[in-house]
Amino acid sequence: MFGFIGLGQMGLPIALNLLESGRGPVRVHNRTASKAAKLIEKGATLAASPAEVAAPGGIVFTMLSDDRAVEDVVLGEDGILQRLGPEGVHVSMSTIGPATARRLAELHEQRACAYLAAPVFGRPDAAAARKLWICLSGAPGAKARVEPILRHLGQGVFDFGEDAGAAHVAKLAGNFLIGAAMEAIAEAVVLVEKSGVDRVKVIDMLADTLFNCPVYRNYGKAIAADRAAPVGFKLALGRKDLELVLQAAGAVQTPMPLADLVRDRLLAGLAKGRAEMDWSMLSLGAAEDAGLKPAAARRE
Burial class (CB in 10 A: 0-12, 13-18, 19+), 300: exposed
What does DSSP assign to residue 55? -
The secondary structure element, H or E, covering residue 143 is helix 140-153
Sheet holding 26-29, edge to edge: 45-46, 26-29, 2-5, 59-62, 89-92, 114-117
How far is Cα 283 from Cα 224, in angstroms, rounded to an integer? 9
CA–CA dist 39, 42 (Å, integer): 5
- The residues annotated as belonging to the active site are 171
Q: How many CB atoms lie within 10 A of CB 205?
A: 12
What does the angle CA 11 – CA 16 – CA 17 come to, to the nearest 5 degrees? 100
